[in-house]
Structure 1
Amino acid sequence: MLAAPRQDSLAQDFVQFSVEAGVLRFGEFRTKAGRMSPYFFNAGLFDDGAKLGQLAQFYARRILASGIEFDMLFGPAYKGIPLAAAVAIELARDGRNVPYAYNRKEAKDHGEGGTLVGAPVRGRVLIVDDVMSAGTAARESIALIRAAGATPHAVAIALDRQEKATEDGRDVDHSAVQYVRNQLGLQVCAIARLADLLQYLERHAGEELGEHHARVEAYRRRYGVE
C-alpha cells in the first residue's frame, strides 16, 4: 500500500488562512481559460493590513525555506506591487533585508520617467506574484528585468493551481509553473499547491468544507498536472 502524501504544515496553515479570509472560495467560477472551476483564489481579497501582513509572513517563510538565492524582489503591476513591498518588509524582520522594485503599466514621461520604480534592478531577481495562469506576467517581468541588465532568477507565488495551461484556446500538457521552470529556466516556489488544498479538504471530511473535495478532485483529474 502506498503511503499517504506527507502534509506540508505551512501549506495547510496557508490554505486555512485563505479560507478564513474569504480569499479561497468554493462554488462555480469561470477561469480565464473558460473552464468552470469548483474553487477560486482571489488574492485581491487580502485587503487589509492584518491579512496582507500575515500573507507576507507565509511568503517569507516559504522563500527562506526554499533555499532560493536572490538579491532583490520584483513586483509585477498590479497585484505584485503590494506583495513585493510587504514581503520585503517581512524578510527584513527575519534578518534578510533586500531591495525591491516594481513596474508601471505605462511609461512615465516626466519626473524620474521610465516604467520601473524603486531600487535599481540588479543581480538575481525574485519575482513575487499571486498565481500563475498562463505565465504572461512572468514573461513580461523577465523582459523588463533583462532589459535593466539584471537576471530573472526565480518566482514566488501564493498558489500553484497545478493545472494545464492553454495556448490558442487549447489545453496543453504542462502548467504555467512548469513552463516557467522548464522553458524559461526560473525556479518557482509556491506557498501551497492544489494537492495541499485537496489534503485540507480531505481532513475536513464530514464537515461542510469537506463536501467540496469530490468536485475539486474531479477537476484535478480532468485538468491537473503534477
Structure 2
Amino acid sequence: MDTRQEFIRFALAAGVLRFGEFRTKAGRLSPYFFNAGLFDDGARLGRLGEFYARTLLEAEAAGRLSFDMLFGPAYKGITLASATAVALAGMGRNLPFAFNRKEAKDHGEGGTLIGAPMKGRVVIVDDVISAGTSVRESVELIRAAGAEPSGVLIALDRQERGGDATTPSEHSATQDVARLYGIPVIAIASLADLLAFLESGGAEAQALAEYRPQVQAYRERYGV
C-alpha cells in the first residue's frame, strides 16, 4: 500500500484525523482537523515513527534531500524526532539526533541544545508547519551550532495559503519555508493525498463521502 494512503488510514483509526467543522488559527472553518498530539500511546508513536522514517528514506532515495542527523524542535518535535530515530535504527540506519529546550539552563550541561553534537546536514522533524516560527528558530539554532539544515519532515502538509479567512496570501507555509531557507519540506501526506483517499471508493472513504465536497471546496478556496 502507498505510504501516504496507509498513513491517512492510520491517522483516521487513531482519531488524529477528524472530519466536521473546525475553526483554524487563521479563523477559517475547515472540514477536517489533524492533531498529532493524539498519537498518544506507545504503539501509535512507534508506528508514527515508522511512517516518518519511511518517508525520509523514500525522499533520500528519490534525491530530494540528504541528511546526517535529526533535530526535534520543542515541544512536539522532541518526541517525533526521537521516534523517527528509533524507527530508522530498526531499519538499519542509526542516526544521531538532538532537540532543544525553550529556556537555557545555567547548570549541568547548560545551553538550549540536548543530544548529539549538531553537525553535518540536519533534518528538522515536526508535526505540521503553520506560521513557520518553529522552523525559523530551528534553522537559526542549527546554523549557530555550525551545522546546516537540509530539510523539514512533517506529518501533514495542508497545502493551504497563509493569511486569514478573508485575505489569503499567495503561498502556503510550507512553500514559504522552502523559499526562505532553500530547503525542501517533505510530508508523509498532504491535502491532495487526503482528497485522493476520499475519492478512492473504498469502504472507509464511502463512510466519509459527505465530507468530500466540503474538503474539495476548501481546497479550491484556500489551496495552493
TM-score range, shorter chain: over 0.9
Whether 1:161 aligns to 2:158 is yes
**Aligned-pair CA distance for 1:145:** 0.7
Distance across 1 between alignment mates of 2:153 and 2:83 = 13
Matched letter for residue 81 of structure 1: I
Match for residue 9 of structure 2 among 16, 30, 41: 16
8 Å contact from structure 1 (residues 157, 189) kept in 2: yes
The SS at the match of 1:27 is strand
The 5 A counterparts of 1:42-57 are 42-57=35-50
Give the corresponding residue for 1:38.
31
Aligned length: 217
8 Å contact from structure 1 (residues 156, 188) kept in 2: yes
**Aligned-pair CA distance for 1:171:** 2.0
Distance across 2 between alignment mates of 1:96 and 1:69 = 13
Give the corresponding residue for 2:143.
146
Distance across 2 between alignment mates of 1:162 and 1:60 = 22
**Aligned-pair CA distance for 1:90:** 0.6
8 Å contact from structure 1 (residues 203, 210) kept in 2: no
Matched letter for residue 214 of structure 2: R
The 5 A counterparts of 1:95-114 are 95-114=92-111
Whether 1:133 aligns to 2:130 is yes
**Aligned-pair CA distance for 1:127:** 0.3
The SS at the match of 2:170 is coil
201-210 or 65-74, which deviates more: 201-210
Matched letter for residue 211 of structure 2: H
Matched letter for residue 71 of structure 2: F
8 Å contact from structure 1 (residues 134, 166) kept in 2: no
Deviation digits for residues 143-167 of structure 1 (CA, Å, limit 9, x no counterpart): 1111111101100000000000128
| Percentage of matched positions with identical amino acids | 64
Matched letter for residue 18 of structure 1: A
The SS at the match of 1:105 is strand
Deviation digits for residues 99-142 of structure 1 (CA, Å, limit 9, x no counterpart): 00001011111111111111111111000000111211111100
Please list every run of at least 4 consecutive aligned residues from structure 1 whose deviation after the TM superposition is greater than 2 angstroms. 204-208
8 Å contact from structure 2 (residues 72, 126) kept in 1: yes
Give the corresponding residue for 1:208.
207
**Aligned-pair CA distance for 1:203:** 1.9
The SS at the match of 1:203 is coil
Matched letter for residue 198 of structure 1: L
The SS at the match of 1:189 is strand
8 Å contact from structure 2 (residues 8, 189) kept in 1: yes
202-211 or 19-28, which deviates more: 202-211
Give the corresponding residue for 1:220.
219
The SS at the match of 1:172 is strand
Distance across 2 between alignment mates of 1:20 and 1:207 = 15
Gaps in structure 1 of 5+ consecutive residues:
1-7
199-208 or 134-143, which deviates more: 199-208
Matched letter for residue 93 of structure 2: R
Matched letter for residue 148 of structure 1: A
Give the corresponding residue for 2:115.
118
The SS at the match of 2:71 is strand
**Aligned-pair CA distance for 1:207:** 2.6
195-204 or 137-146, which deviates more: 195-204
RMSD: 1.5
